[in-house]
Amino acid sequence: MCGIFGIHGHPNASSLAFLGLWALQHRGQESAGIVASDGDRVSHKLGMGLASEVFTGNALKTLTGNLAIGHVRYSTTGSSTLRNAQPFLVRWQKGYLAIAHNGNLVNSFSLREQLEKEGTIFQSTMDSEVIVHLIARSKEKEVEGKITDALSRIKGAYSLVILTGNKIIAVRDPHGFRPLSLGDLGGAPVVASESCAFDLIGAKFTREIEPGEMVVINRAGVTSHYPFKKVKPSFCIFEFIYFARPDSWIFGGSVYLTRKKLGECLYEESPSQVDSVVPIPDSGNYAALGYAQKGGIPFELAVIRNHYVGRTFIQPSQSIRDLGVKIKLNPCRYILKEKKIAVVEDSIVRGTTSRVRMKNLRAAGAKEIHLRVSCPPHRFPCFYGIDFPNPKELAANVMGIEGIRKFLGLDSLSYLSLQGMLSAMPQNGQNFCTACFTGKLPCKVRGTNR
C-alpha cells in the first residue's frame, strides 16, 4: 500500500505536497518522497521514514517550481530500502519523468524478465519501474499515447501520478482497485489517494477519478480520457474495512459511515447480551459505534491507545513482542472489572496481536469477552496491494473459527458474513474485490514481485 499526491500550478507546490503526504501517512510509513518541477528544471528528495522525518530543515526550500508529486510507501518486509522509495525519477528523451504508484501489478515479473532479456537495466526491485521502461520504449509520439501504450500491457492494481515536462498525468487502472481523487485549490488542480489530503490543504474535493480514466493536467486545465477497454470495477473492500482514513470519501462512500454500517450489520447478524461494547482502537472504533448504537448498548472506550508509538514495534523474542502490544494499547481496568463485554475488531489476520489483546482484557478483569469482527474470515492472499501474510499463516486457515475462539480465549466469536459486509458498502457492494475472503480473483495473476 502507498499514498500518492500531485499538484499543478501552485507557487507552494512542494509544501502542499508535503502536507498532502502528511494526511496520507496512514497509507505508508516506510519512506516518503517529493519530486518538484517548474516544467523544466526538476528537483527531488526521498528518504526513509515518515514525511515529517524526511522533509526537515530546508528540505522543502530546494524543491522549487509550481508542479509537485509525492509518495508515501507502506512497509512490507524485506524491501525497506531507499532504492525502492518513490516517486521514481528518470531522465529520458523528453527531459524527465517521475512516477508515484499505489497498488501491485500482477504481471510485472514476466514483463521484467522480458525487458531484461532485451537489455533493459533496472535500478530497483519495484514493480513500478516496469511501467517507466515501457513508457520510455513506446513508439507513440505523445506522452499520453506512450503511457496508454505501456499501461495496456500491464495487469493489476495501479493508481498513478506521473510528472513530466509541464504536465501531471493521473491514471487509475480499469478495475479501480485503489482509490484516487481529483480536487481543486483556488484553480490549481490536485490529485490524492484519499480526499482527507484535500481537507488538510484547504482544497475542494471535485470528484473521484474513475476506473480506467486518465486525467491530464497542463496549463490549459484538466482533460479526461478513457483509453482502456471497460471492465467490471473491483474496488478493494479492505480499504473500507481497515485501510482508508475515516474522514475520507472513497469508492462512492464515506469511510466513517460505511464502517459504522458494518458494525450495525454485525449487530443484526450476531447480537450479544453484554454490559458494554468496547472497540479496539483506532480501526475498530467506527464499527463498534455502529454495533453499540444498533443494539442500544453502552459504548465504552475501555482500551486506551498510546499515540506516541511509532511504526510497528519489532522485537526478536515473543515475550518482549507481547509487551510491545501493550505499549500501543492498554485496557482500563476500572471500566472492565467483572464486566461482560462485546469487543469489536475490524479484522483478524494472523491472530497473534489479538491473542495478546484478549489476554490483557482478561487480566484487566473482563468476565465475559464476546469478540465481533467487522468482516468475514481472511483466508486468501491479496495480489493487488494489501500486504497479507502467506495464506498458511492466516489464522482462519491455520485453526478454523472455533480454533481461533479457543486460541484467543473467548466466550464467543463471530465474523460478519460476506453478504452482510457487501450490504454495508456503497451500491450494495456490486463493484468490489473480495478476493481476500473468497479467493475469486478479478484479474489473472501471472507472477508478482511479492
Active site residues: 2
Do 2 and 8 meet the contact criterion of CB atoms below 8 Å apart?
A: no
Nearer to ligand 5GP, 36 or 236 (CB): 236
Read off the DSSP letter of residue 43.
E
Do 207 and 182 meet the contact criterion of CB atoms below 8 Å apart?
A: yes
- Give the range of 162-170, 250-258, 344-352, 437-445 binding Mg ion by CB under 5 A: 344-352
User: Would you call 100 helix, strand, or coil by DSSP?
Assistant: strand
> Which cell goes with 275?
454490559
Least distance in Å: CB of 429 to Mg ion? 21
Q: How many CA atoms lie within 13 A of 221 on its CB side?
A: 3
Least distance in Å: CB of 259 to Mg ion? 11
For residues 403 and 359, what is the distance between their CA atoms, to the nearest angstrom?
16
Least distance in Å: CB of 282 to Mg ion? 7
Among ligand 5GP, Mg ion, none, the one that 354 touches (CB under a kind-dependent 5 to 8 A) is ligand 5GP
Nearer to ligand 5GP, 276 or 283 (CB): 283
DSSP per residue, 149-211: HHHHT--B--EEEEEETTEEEEEE-TT--S--EEEEETTEEEEESSTHHHHHHTPEEEEEPPT
Task: List the interface residues with ligand 5GP, window 337-356 (CB under 6 A).
Answer: 345-354
Query: 177, exposed or middle or buried, with CB in 10 Å at 0-12, 13-18, 19+?
Result: buried
Question: Is there binding between residue 353 and Mg ion (CB under 5 A)?
Answer: no
Nearer to Mg ion, 232 or 311 (CB): 311
Nearer to ligand 5GP, 87 or 351 (CB): 351
Question: Is there binding between residue 29 and ligand 5GP (CB under 6 A)?
Answer: no
Q: Residue 287: which H helix or E strand, with range?
A: helix 285-295
Question: Is there binding between residue 414 and Mg ion (CB under 5 A)?
Answer: no
Question: Is there binding between residue 361 and ligand 5GP (CB under 6 A)?
Answer: no
Among Mg ion, ligand 5GP, none, the one that 387 touches (CB under a kind-dependent 5 to 8 A) is ligand 5GP
Do 77 and 24 meet the contact criterion of CB atoms below 8 Å apart?
A: no
In 3D space, the residue among 159, 234, 296 whose CA is nearest the CA of residue 425 turns out to be 234
Least distance in Å: CB of 345 to ligand 5GP? 5
Query: Which residue's CB comes closest to Mg ion?
Result: 283
Task: List the interface residues with ligand 5GP, window 275-294 (CB under 6 A).
Answer: 280, 283
Size of the site for ligand 5GP (CB under 6 A): 14
Nearer to ligand 5GP, 268 or 282 (CB): 282
Residues 6+ away with beta carbon under 8 Å from 12: none
Do 191 and 161 meet the contact criterion of CB atoms below 8 Å apart?
A: yes
Do 290 and 270 meet the contact criterion of CB atoms below 8 Å apart?
A: no
Least distance in Å: CB of 51 to Mg ion? 22
Question: Is there binding between residue 166 and ligand 5GP (CB under 6 A)?
Answer: no
For residues 88 and 98, what is the distance between their CA atoms, to the nearest angstrom?
5
Least distance in Å: CB of 180 to Mg ion? 25
Question: Is there binding between residue 283 and Mg ion (CB under 5 A)?
Answer: yes
Nearer to Mg ion, 161 or 375 (CB): 375
For residues 239 and 245, what is the distance between their CA atoms, to the nearest angstrom?
9
The residues of the shown chain that bind Mg ion, judged by CB under 5 A, are: 283, 346
The residues of the shown chain that bind ligand 5GP, judged by CB under 6 A, are: 242, 280, 283, 345-354, 387
